Amino acid sequence: MKRLPLLLLALCAALPAGRAELTPQVLKRARSRIEQLLGPRRNPPAPPADPANPFLAPGPAQAVATAETPVVSDTDTVKRLAGLLKINGFVQIQGIPHLIIDRLPYKENDLVAVKERSGTFYLRLKKITARTYILELNGKEFQSSLNAR
């Protein structure tokens, strides 16, 4: 069993290596194809003097995108976010007025987290009375009554 690989090795060494000769036309076509494939790698073109930034959109497309984006003020944002809150009522805990939002009590100056697709916003509960409350975001206020809900 161990002699079989040795016998094959001796047989391969003893036989003359059959070399196929290529015609000059085949060699010429092969060299031109090799040069066609490897030429750009061997002699690459010079890089541009001022390459474009790949992380920015091209100029005209970027201008169109910014022109279509509506400008939303903080006042509109506060109104929109206030509409997402689920106000359950008003209660006084140890003499301090609290507003029940999503079944949790919040007192004045507490931050109320409002989650949206674009992120989480924190509204400050500025003022609470038995009939109204005031929410604030970036200095812009929104007042609503408890009966309106």
pLDDT band at 42 (very low <50, low <70, confident <90, very high): confident
pTM beyond 0.75, yes or no: no
Is-contact 132 142, C-beta < 8 A? no
Q: Which domains does the chain have, with CATH numbers?
A: 74-145 (2.30.30)
Q: What is the mean pLDDT of residues 15-36?
A: 82
Give the DSSP H or E segment for 109: none
For residue 69, the surrounding DSSP H or E stretch is: none
